[in-house]
Amino acid sequence: MSRAAGPILSKVQTKRIPASSFLRVCSLSSSQAKIAGYYFSYFLRRQFAEDEKKKLLKNHFHLKSTLQLLGTMGYLRGAIMKAGQLLANLPQIMPHDLIELFESLQFEAPPMHFSLIREVFLDELGKEPEEIFSFFDKNAFAAASLGQVHRARLHDGREVAVKIQYPNIAQTIDADLKALSFLLQTMRFTKDYQYLCLHVQDAREVFLQEVDYVSEASFMEKNRRLFAGSEIVVPRSYPEFSGKRILTMDYLPGKHLQAFLAGNPSQAKRNHFGELISYSLVHSWFRLRTVYADLHPGNYLLMDDGRLGFIDFGCYRVFNEERWKMEIDGEIAMFNDNREQLMHFFTKLTMHDYPEELDPVWVDLAIRQMRWVIAPILTKDQFDFADKEYAEQGATLLKETIKSGYVRTDSFFNWSNRAILGHRALMYRLRSKVDYSTLYKREMEKYS
């Protein structure tokens, strides 16, 4: 855990996660009020500070505000903490020091006290963990938004990792999205209200799927078979020691991205792991027609023997036939720079009947976004994902998208966009150079 984040996050370990909308909104409101107070203090002090001290004051304000947010997210967990994890995937937008703090939410969030976790075992499997395993470490070695992970040993000697869901986490997600739906009521007379509701409903379905560890175990097994024999290692799950809120799987040794980078790895190693992460996304995308939408450092282990551990499979969406054809048609249109086909794709994406109904400003932004996405695919040989111009262009497009507030799009594609953003962020952090074009086109030709 980050040295700066440690004290404030450790305070929430023994607290039960609030499950009601009222308590969660109150916690967020209190946090926002404190940050507003920090800003007012910064604003006043800045007026009387010398130039060389203004930057120091600004950095101090950012740090205090971030720590306040971390504490609140660590307490509320669920969908709120997932928002913090998403912030950690925006290295081109946020300062590096703040990215490292938010990164702690991806696998170093404060674990819940074991007394709060024990009840999940009793409710789910009807036994204490010490009865199920020959050894069970009460201290979690990883914790994130929905659950925490403990090391254990089966009676036959196999080392396993046991992921245990936080108590009431499904209720917190429901409460957060109900609160969001209530806030959106103020927009119910606008033209975009129905599309906002579709996005919220879609997010609810995905998040609730993510707290179903039986579903995750099934998708994990599909990927284990898919990557068998490659340098990507997917752990085996153990259904007899698992349930809807407990997932027991093989323990994999390795380093998360932050620890790997701290060792100052060679460019060859950076490129190697960048290629494996890219393959994990693209191969699953085309072979299983599935969007894995949770590409962040907490879900990968960079192993000493050069293999990549792929360890979390909760957040995914499966293309149906109509959406898959739509996706492939859109990509081909972009590769061929065929504007007529692109307009047909955008018409379907935005649920219009005719291309003439499209907003030309949005179309321009969408085309620039797609060109940014396919740039690594169109580049022969290695693509430098840490290229400053490419990174800044992506950050600018993201800001434009958020500022536009355009929501009349098929909500399914939020997850493919999130997957691509997560991939680019990981490649940027790795400073990886990969022949992404050959990898992508080979998979597309074989399985599309």
pLDDT digits (tens, 9 = 90+) for 219-263: 999 999 999 999 999 999 999 999 999 999 999 999 999 899 999
DSSP 3-state assignment of 374? helix
**CA separation for the pair 411, 200 (Å, rounded):** 9
**CA separation for the pair 220, 236 (Å, rounded):** 8
Q: Which two tokens stand for residue 229?
A: 């024999």
**CA separation for the pair 8, 105 (Å, rounded):** 13
Would you state the pLDDT for residue 91? Answer: 52
**pLDDT at position 191 over 70:** yes
**CA separation for the pair 34, 44 (Å, rounded):** 16
| pLDDT band at residue 395 under the 50/70/90 scheme | confident
Residues in a beta bridge with 316: 292
**CA separation for the pair 323, 319 (Å, rounded):** 6
**pLDDT at position 2 over 80:** no
Tell me which DSSP letter residue 356 carries. Answer: G
Residues in a beta bridge with 383: 434
Would you state the pLDDT for residue 40? Answer: 43
**CA separation for the pair 164, 213 (Å, rounded):** 9
Residues in a beta bridge with 248: 162
Tell me which H or E stretch contains 29. Answer: helix 21-47
Q: Determine the longest span between alpha carbons in the chain, in angstroms.
A: 68
User: What are the phi and psi torsion angles at 86 (to 5°)?
Assistant: -65, -40
For 78-93, the DSSP string reads HHHHHHHHHHTT-TTT
**pLDDT at position 82 over 60:** no
| pLDDT band at residue 57 under the 50/70/90 scheme | low
The overall average pLDDT reported for the chain is 82
**pLDDT at position 33 over 50:** no
List pLDDT tens digits, range 137-169. 998 888 777 888 999 999 999 999 999 998 888
**pLDDT at position 3 over 90:** no
**CA separation for the pair 109, 93 (Å, rounded):** 22
**pLDDT at position 10 over 60:** no
List pLDDT tens digits, range 270-316. 999 999 999 999 999 999 999 999 898 889 999 999 999 999 999 89
The residues, any chain, with a CB within 8 Å of residue 26's CB and separated by 6 or more, are none
**CA separation for the pair 211, 367 (Å, rounded):** 35
**CA separation for the pair 63, 68 (Å, rounded):** 9
Is the distance from CB of 181 to CB of 200 less than 8 angstroms? yes
Tell me which DSSP letter residue 187 carries. Answer: G
Tell me which DSSP letter residue 113 carries. Answer: P
List pLDDT tens digits, range 312-352. 999 899 999 999 999 999 999 999 999 999 999 999 999 99
Is the distance from CB of 105 to CB of 88 less than 8 angstroms? yes
